[in-house]
Structure 1
Amino acid sequence: MRELQNVDGLHPRDLSQRQRLLVVYVLGLVAVVLSYTALYNFGMRAYESRPQSVFRSFQAVLATLTTTGYGADAPWTTPEMNVFLGLVQVTGVVIGFVTLRVLIIPLFERAPLSLDDRLSKKEGHVVVAEYRRDTDLLLDELEARDVGYVLLESDQTEAKRLSDEGYQAIHGDPENPSDLDRASVEEASLLVADAGDRNASIVLTAMEANEGLRTVSFATSPRRNPAFTELGVDRSVAPHALIGRRLAEKATTPVAVDVAGEGDGTEDGGEDAGSVEVRELLVRRGSPLHGVRVGDSPLADRSDLTVVAGWFDGELRLPPSPDDELSPNTVLIVAGPERAIAGATADLSNLRAPREERNERIVVAGNGEGGRAARDAIPDDVAVTTVDSDPDTHPDVVGDVTEPKTLRQAGVGGASALIVTVDDDATALLAVATARSLSADVEILVRVTDAGKESPAFGAGADYVLSIQRACARLVAAEVGGDPVVDPVSRIRLVRADADSFVGESLSSARRDGGCGWTVVGVVRDGTVEMDERTTVEPDDVVVVAGSDDAVREFEGTAEEG
């Protein structure tokens, strides 16, 4: 079904080898029938002295080719016409055999003789050399972004299953140059290697065929990153460590920022600035906002609030695109007066503003690769307590993270956040439920392996969930698509600056023109903060800008140069 859908409306280069064969066959058959019709019509007039309409000639040729008869014109008296009709008969037999092989037999087979026949012509695509996670999730993500790809799968059964479902998958050994050639690696723009210890061999083999090939390699530990860099790998990803670090950043990135001290030179600058605050609004599970684009959400319609940033499955996008969809795993960061934020929280169901006390103490459940990465990413001024059942990982508390006694010993009741990075999803869900029963206030951030466990994790009481499978799939898609994603390293800041470079612009235009990592929140005018996007910036205004540390510093440098 997917194969038939892919044909409609596509350029010929997008057709698979089998689809191109069918097109050539049909066009050739039409050409043969029309040519024979013209020749037969000419022969009946020139040799048999029996002129007739071209339609009668078409019917006679068709009857002969299909062996359903030889037409009402038989017999023919001239040698030329008898030889010609003999050729037509032989052609009909050949066409019958070709039709049987090309159309009839494959129709009753579950797969073509070669999976390669289903591949469309490739250029500038992604070659996925094995994938040890949820392959369907990755390929769906690539197709959703209209990214061309070929998956080279060493498991023949899995390759056939994926191909049967319409994915661009073939069976082969990614270490074999000829199999990489079948995937058109020399025409590819990116190689994704996820074959464990074979990654180095795969990367080196692929780069021999395509020296300009960009490469992404998945590793079990970030300790292998230097080795892959030495091989020429552009990006090496250790999924467990990546998710652990992202959860730690999410738990420790301050969002309540006051801009007093960044003053505009007015005596009441502190009070005015204090009226602009930044808060997180968590889209809870079951929220009616699920599936709504940021630009279509009720928050976008409020003139007294600005959506500064958003966490989307572990990525902080600052500012978010109006086309980004909200999900139960989205945290929007909004700026505006405190009363406006409180009003938005109250008016919109299933939104919750997380507790403001951050960075007090964090408990990390699971001290493996992901837990250590989370611990290392937490700032030094934040107290961290690690918990693990394996004493060899040297946790602060040795014990079962699903036991209330262990979590109490770790102090989860008084912690600002709990990061769960255990390897087993069932254990993670039970740990979340146990922690939630001990504390209604602790912010729980959890890592799961299976994307299907995200919803159960929310049901167990988690506030934020990252799936390794989903995060890896989106990372690959973002890598090939060049998505502008900000990876936070410290905090979100609010600053005030002269309005000189924005005078005459509307706030809507100023926000669109903002650089990656910062956005214009509003303007301070006559002791009040104007945030309506229709507001035009005036010379005496002071603009309020929000962004990450690096982006804000870059903005301030640009403003000073201007």
Structure 2
Amino acid sequence: MRRPFNRLFSLLGFLVLTLLVAATVYMLGMEHLEGQERDFWSSLEWAAETLTTTGYGNDSHWEHPLMIVFVASVQFFGLMVTLSVVPIVLIPWFESRFEARLPQALPEVDDFVLVYRWGPAVSSLVRNMSEQRIATVILEENESRARWLRDRGHKVVYASLEEGQLDLRGIERCRAIIANGEDHDNAAVIAMARQLSFDGSIYALVDTPKHRRPILLSGADAVYSPMHSLAAGLAAKASDRIAPRVSGVQMIGADVEVGELRIHEDSPMRGKSLTELSVRAGTGATVVGLWTRGQFRAPPDPQAALEAGTIVVALGDARALAKLGELATPLDRSGPLLVIGYGEVGQKLVEMLESVGESVRVLARDHHPRLDVCGDALDPQVLEAAGIVKARVVILAFSADSTALFAATIIRDIAPNLPIIAAVDRAENIERVHRAGADHALSISQVTAQLLGYKLFGEHFAAAEPRMRVFDALAAPFAGLSLSNARLPERTGCTVVAVERRDHGETGETLTQVTSSDVLEEEDILYLCGASDARERFFREFPAAMIE
């Protein structure tokens, strides 16, 4: 608010000084160059008329060249000042006078989440909370950003920590605080909240991991590094050793494997639905999920047409997966993981992958002892030298989203079937990176929203991708029904991947190549695959199926 006033006062002082100088020079010029005396007040009148471009009274003609040049210069200067004053000074001043004042105290709202400082790391979380109708207040120190947030419907408090404007009275109505400012500012805000006897949860996001302990000592319940969280999310997507695509498969039998296949441009599966293809009957493999444009769909819609580039996740024995591989291209499960970019995210990512025994190659532009190849990742020859063709997965860990987008395009052209995982700074760029060729893209905003959403509101709030798991259940509630008539995927989100036939309680044969027409028997044991919420829904719907 002070800035427009400062501009206005500076302008007034400048205009007064200009008038006095122009009037004095004109008075002296008329006397010594034109031979006509003018008093100061007449000269001041001339200066005012000239600078404001309103015209002249008595004086409108001059003889001496220097006088003519001076008068013309003052005229042009006055015109430039007039044209500049309106946009630079007057409009901001009027805006500051008439725009609404930003609140500087916490609103009368109960059970709200206070977010200190807006930024990419918290944008998805705030959006998710708004969608869930959870009251959110953003405490912002930047006035223009505060107004931008208010114009988009957010509850905003504008206050400066350095100038002592921060007023946290009413903090007892807050359910949790998320500190997203500079590390030292986070510590100050957390300490202030604790001094006011706030006993709710406080979570802080830090730029420098070594500041974690001091912020914990300030009163935070937990401190996270968004960069390290992003690296962990990328590592989980890249390595089965960190986060298996489907867990619990071993309970079915040693012969059952998880397969991932890409639907290529010329694939017979492209443009057809799973129902049309009769994948289970034709190959013996069970499709449990589909990766499409970075979204994991489980169970897959059997009527939806399959797109080129979709990654199919299937369960089956080696023969069944080989048959499915005739329809789509199996993803290579051997070879190293190639990490491109070795900044903070890249370094932590490599550390996590190597800690679980993964073979990792690193490519980056800036020299570092850990690099396998040093060069421009946007150069196809450098990518080939780094082993892009032999890699199992490539992870893009650039600091700029535009670089990740361009690199994804180049890599997809060189290696059409190679899985590409990209780190993205801003959540709004995820779709662009997908269109460029990346199979998976994660932003700092996403992983922070998942992490803090889980901490604040539990797993049902966190919008994390589902982790698939195989579990067993009794078939008694479905005895006499075929798999198609039981309609388990539609009713529970779980897919039957195997059936164990028992005779008088004795363990029998496990059928891994089941079809929708197979009829279930009273003593059968079902092996189903689904996310955790699907498993809960299954046993909630059919409690008699639970194995004691």
Q: Deviations over 1:432-459 (max 9, x none)?
A: 2332233223211111212232233223
Matching residue of 1:24: none
CA positional deviation for 1:192: 0.8
SS in 2 for 1:391: coil
1: CA distance, partners of 2:210 / 2:383: 30
Does the CA contact (< 8 Å) of 1:402 and 1:434 recur in 2?
A: yes
Compared CA separation, residues 318 and 212, structure 1 to 2 (3 A):
farther
CA positional deviation for 1:378: 1.7
| Equivalent position amino acid for 2:177 in 1 | L
Compared CA separation, residues 257 and 181, structure 1 to 2 (3 A):
closer
Is 1:356 aligned with 2:331? Answer: yes
1: CA distance, partners of 2:530 / 2:374: 40
Report how many residues are paired: 411
Does the CA contact (< 8 Å) of 1:502 and 1:510 recur in 2?
A: no
1:371-386 correspondence runs (5 A): 371-378=346-353, 380-386=356-362
CA positional deviation for 1:483: 2.4
Is 1:195 aligned with 2:171? Answer: no
Q: Deviations over 1:288-341 (max 9, x none)?
A: xxxxxxxxx989xx9969785788999999999xxxxx9999977555689999
| Equivalent position amino acid for 2:432 in 1 | P
Compared CA separation, residues 227 and 318, structure 1 to 2 (3 A):
farther
Equivalent of 2:100 in 104, 112, 116: 112
Compared CA separation, residues 344 and 444, structure 1 to 2 (3 A):
same
CA positional deviation for 1:155: 0.7
Q: TM-score, normalised by structure 2?
A: 0.59
Matching residue of 2:477: 504
2: CA distance, partners of 1:313 / 1:242: 22
Does the CA contact (< 8 Å) of 1:160 and 1:170 recur in 2?
A: no
Compared CA separation, residues 486 and 387, structure 1 to 2 (3 A):
same
SS in 1 for 2:129: helix
1: CA distance, partners of 2:292 / 2:172: 34
Compared CA separation, residues 520 and 231, structure 1 to 2 (3 A):
farther
SS in 2 for 1:430: helix
Compared CA separation, residues 468 and 283, structure 1 to 2 (3 A):
farther
CA positional deviation for 1:547: 7.4
SS in 2 for 1:445: strand
Matching residue of 1:34: none
Does the CA contact (< 8 Å) of 1:124 and 1:189 recur in 2?
A: yes
Does the CA contact (< 8 Å) of 1:199 and 1:217 recur in 2?
A: yes
CA positional deviation for 1:158: 1.4
Q: Deviations over 1:207-240 (max 9, x none)?
A: 2324422122112244444444444433322222
Matching residue of 2:428: 452
Matching residue of 1:245: 232
Does the CA contact (< 8 Å) of 1:310 and 1:330 recur in 2?
A: yes
SS in 1 for 2:382: helix
Does the CA contact (< 8 Å) of 1:130 and 1:152 recur in 2?
A: yes
Does the CA contact (< 8 Å) of 1:312 and 1:330 recur in 2?
A: yes
Equivalent of 2:419 in 429, 443, 453: 443
Q: Structure 1 regions of 5+ residues with no counterpart?
A: 1-107, 264-269, 286-296, 321-325, 348-352, 553-558
1: CA distance, partners of 2:181 / 2:193: 14
Compared CA separation, residues 524 and 409, structure 1 to 2 (3 A):
same
Is 1:161 aligned with 2:164? Answer: no
Matching residue of 2:75: none
SS in 1 for 2:204: strand
Q: Deviations over 1:162-199 (max 9, x none)?
A: 213321112013689973525x4221111111112222
2: CA distance, partners of 1:204 / 1:354: 56
Does the CA contact (< 8 Å) of 2:179 and 2:205 recur in 1?
A: yes
1:154-553 correspondence runs (5 A): 154-173=141-160, 179-181=166-168, 184-197=170-183, 198-253=185-240, 254-255=244-245, 263=253, 274=256, 278-280=258-260, 333=313, 335=315, 355-378=330-353, 380-392=356-368, 394-484=370-460, 494=470, 499=473, 503-504=476-477, 521=497, 523-525=499-501, 528=511, 538-546=521-529
2: CA distance, partners of 1:150 / 1:463: 35
Does the CA contact (< 8 Å) of 1:142 and 1:148 recur in 2?
A: yes
SS in 1 for 2:195: helix
Bigger Rg, which one: 2
Q: CA RMSD in A?
A: 5.2
Is 1:132 aligned with 2:119? Answer: yes
| Equivalent position amino acid for 2:205 in 1 | F
Q: TM-score, normalised by structure 1?
A: 0.58
SS in 2 for 1:115: coil
CA positional deviation for 1:135: 6.4
1: CA distance, partners of 2:497 / 2:203: 37
Does the CA contact (< 8 Å) of 1:174 and 1:180 recur in 2?
A: no
Q: Deviations over 1:147-166 (max 9, x none)?
A: 11100000112112221332
Matching residue of 1:55: none
Q: Deviations over 1:391-450 (max 9, x none)?
A: 247422222222223222211111111111011222222222332233223211111212
Compared CA separation, residues 207 and 228, structure 1 to 2 (3 A):
same
Identity of aligned residues (%): 25
| Equivalent position amino acid for 2:172 in 1 | E
Compared CA separation, residues 452 and 547, structure 1 to 2 (3 A):
closer
Compared CA separation, residues 449 and 260, structure 1 to 2 (3 A):
closer
| Equivalent position amino acid for 2:341 in 1 | G
Does the CA contact (< 8 Å) of 1:425 and 1:448 recur in 2?
A: yes
1: CA distance, partners of 2:251 / 2:352: 28
1: CA distance, partners of 2:147 / 2:110: 23
SS in 1 for 2:389: helix
Q: Deviations over 1:457-498 (max 9, x none)?
A: 22332221112234434544444332246989xx96657x5x
Does the CA contact (< 8 Å) of 1:242 and 1:373 recur in 2?
A: no
Matching residue of 2:52: none
Equivalent of 2:128 in 116, 138, 141: 141
Compared CA separation, residues 221 and 308, structure 1 to 2 (3 A):
farther
Q: Structure 2 regions of 5+ residues with no counterpart?
A: 1-95, 266-272, 301-305, 502-508, 536-544
